[in-house]
Amino acid sequence: MKYLYYPGCSCSGKTTGRAYAESLIAVFQALDVAYEELEDWNCCGATMYMSVDEQQAFAMSVRNLALAERQGGNGDSPPTLTTPCAACYAVLNKTQHYIDDYSQIGESIHSALAAASLSYTGRVQVRHPLDILVNDVGLEKIAGQVKRPLLGLRVACYYGCLLVRPYATFDDPYHPTTMDRLIRALGAEPVDWPLKTHCCGASLSGTIEEVGVRLSYILLSEARRRGANVVATACPFCQFNLECFQHQMIRDHGLAGEVPVGYFTQLAGIALGLPGRNLGLHRLTIPLPVSDKIGEQEEYATAQ
């Protein structure tokens, strides 16, 4: 089965989520997950678009779903669209609920699609790569391919808001555990912390900085307090907010020192023995506390 890959605006080209896209693709290839990019995909109609026009935002989303149905509709199983961005993932899922639940939205969108010679019958499954790695590839297979177990690494798994809310499809909206299980399979130790799905402030870091950055500070200080030496994220915006404003958090809020923040796909890639360059490790401002050279893992573990 081939997954249709929808990078979304933040994970395509020279963007905030570039390292996320790079590491995801490297991990997919290492684990033989077959994928192809959704052809001519457009913006999902995310938060800022929806704040101006809801109908158009849903229509934006549905065009992607219609394209997915056309491109991946030949097999027996339903076409599966996967996107690393938690916001795209939430919006695409939400759109499916809205066109099913509200006939007026469904009708107007279906007729607008028809005018552009497209159609959507609702067959597409939208799934997050975390779900695919853990539930399709499986933890056993992943653990079997680990070449450099992330020994000694204490990871705060940060799911962010939109991975499990408002329409949870593969985990619990209050207390998700999928990423924790993956991290354990990679040899690291997930720390228990209650802020897994607490908001990072999203675009507020760029508009009302003191408010946005403070939300991220709350997350990082709690991660530190719980003894985490790295935070794993699953959303380009969360990673950016948590990583790039740390000097403000140290200066204005008293964060007790830097905390490395990477994508769960980067940690998976390191454990699978992939070269750091392919995982975008060089794009991080605060380097991850794991060696990216094979063979140094034991030294690292004893040094801890």
Partner 1 sequence: MSSPPIERKVRYERDLDPHFAQEISAMPGGEQLAHCIQCGTCSATCPLSIYMDYTPRRIIAMTRAGLKDDVLRSLTIWLCASCYSCTVECPKNIKITDIMYALKRRAIEKNIYPKRFGIPVLSREFFRLVQRNGRSSEGRVIVRMALKTNPFQYMKKKALLGLKLMRQGRLSMKKESIKRKGELTTILRGVEQAALELDRARQSGRVEA
The site for partner 1 (CB under 8 A) is made up of: 9-10, 12-16, 18-19, 40-43, 45, 47-56, 58-60, 62-63, 90, 98, 101-102, 104-105, 107-109, 111-113, 115-118, 161-162, 165-166, 173-174, 197-199, 201-204, 206-209, 211, 215, 218, 244, 282-285
* Nearest to partner 1 of 113, 151 (CB atom): 113
Would you report the helix, strand and coil content of the chain in percent, each value rounded to 5? 50, 10, 40
Minimum separation from the CB atom of position 135 to partner 1 (A): 22
Amino acid at site 278:
N
Residue pair 142/182 in contact by the 8 Å Cβ criterion? yes
* Nearest to partner 1 of 189, 222 (CB atom): 222
What is the residue whose two structure tokens read 């870091």? 205
Minimum separation from the CB atom of position 148 to partner 1 (A): 24
Identify the burial level of 273 via C-beta atoms within 10 angstroms of its C-beta, where 0-12 means exposed, 13-18 middle and 19 or more buried.
middle
What is the residue whose two structure tokens read 């750091």? 276
* Nearest to partner 1 of 1, 208 (CB atom): 208
Among the listed residues 140, 126, 147, 304, the one whose alpha carbon sits nearest the alpha carbon of residue 230: 304
Minimum separation from the CB atom of position 143 to partner 1 (A): 31
Strands (DSSP E) found in the chain: 3-5, 35-37, 80-82, 125-127, 154-157, 189-190, 230-233, 261-263
Minimum separation from the CB atom of position 100 to partner 1 (A): 11
* Nearest to partner 1 of 236, 269 (CB atom): 236
Identify the burial level of 217 via C-beta atoms within 10 angstroms of its C-beta, where 0-12 means exposed, 13-18 middle and 19 or more buried.
buried
Amino acid at site 189:
E
Minimum separation from the CB atom of position 142 to partner 1 (A): 27
* Nearest to partner 1 of 93, 297 (CB atom): 93
Minimum separation from the CB atom of position 250 to partner 1 (A): 15
* Nearest to partner 1 of 224, 283 (CB atom): 283
Minimum separation from the CB atom of position 117 to partner 1 (A): 8
* Nearest to partner 1 of 40, 76 (CB atom): 40
Cα distance between residue 4 and residue 37, in whole Å:
6
CB atoms within 10 A of CB 93: 20
